[in-house]
Amino acid sequence: MNRRQCLQTLSALTVGTLLLPRWATASPLLLLPERSLSFYHLHTGEKQRVTYWAEGQYLPDSLANINHLLRDFRNDKILPIDTALLDQLTLLQTRLNVPCEFHIISAYRSPETNNMLQARSNGVAKRSMHLEGRAIDIRIPNVPLSIVRQQALAMKMGGVGYYPSSDFVHVDSGSVRQWGG
């Protein structure tokens, strides 16, 4: 490749990255041919390993399976889980550089469940992101909770709550913020 071809290639790459969202230019998600996650729901005992994105698109059947697994386990109500949240978990898994099985404490919560939990504890938000399918409370076996928190914060992609006494990290696809600890 001569100098002119090199400059043309660099120019094309630069213009291409300007058209992408800022977070996408450094995102390892762009390099993955598939996006897969493994879950174990602590309250229902259900396990699932699912590829939810392949060939440049989200897979509706896989998303339906995830929505079912991450339902409000107290009343079986289902809401679509935000794909941005799933992508955050995939990036977290990539950053941790270990095969992850996310242990689920809580994902989608219906308004009834959120109200019940709020009445029992002052730590439950009235407008929780769980109500929108945009939040998940997790732990990962054999990965210290502090490391999960640190890597989730380093992504700067949403909310991260740290609950070491309850042994979980909250991750959501809302605005970048942090609490707990």
CATH of the domain at 173: 3.30.1380.10
d(CA 120, CA 134): 22
Q: Name the band, by pLDDT with cuts 50, 70 and 90, for residue 23.
A: very low
Q: What is the mean pLDDT of residues 155-168?
A: 95
11 in any annotated domain: no
26 in any annotated domain: no
Measured distance between the N- and C-terminal CA atoms of the chain, rounded to whole angstroms: 53
Q: Which residues of 42-54 are buried (b: 16+ CB within 10 A; e: fewer)?
A: eeeeeebebebbe
52 in any annotated domain: yes
86 in any annotated domain: yes
177: Cβ–Cβ under 8 A, 6 or more apart, which residues? 159, 160
16 in any annotated domain: no
176 in any annotated domain: yes
Is 165 in a helix, a strand, or coil? coil
d(CA 88, CA 155): 8
Q: What is the mean pLDDT of residues 8-25?
A: 41
- Token couple for 157: 């992609």
Domain extent for 158? 32-180
27 in any annotated domain: no
- Token couple for 28: 């390892």
12 in any annotated domain: no
Q: Name the band, by pLDDT with cuts 50, 70 and 90, for residue 121.
A: confident
Is the pLDDT at 135 greater than 90? The verdict is yes
d(CA 107, CA 69): 9
How many domains does the chain fold into?
1
The model's pTM: 0.82
Is 21 in a helix, a strand, or coil? coil
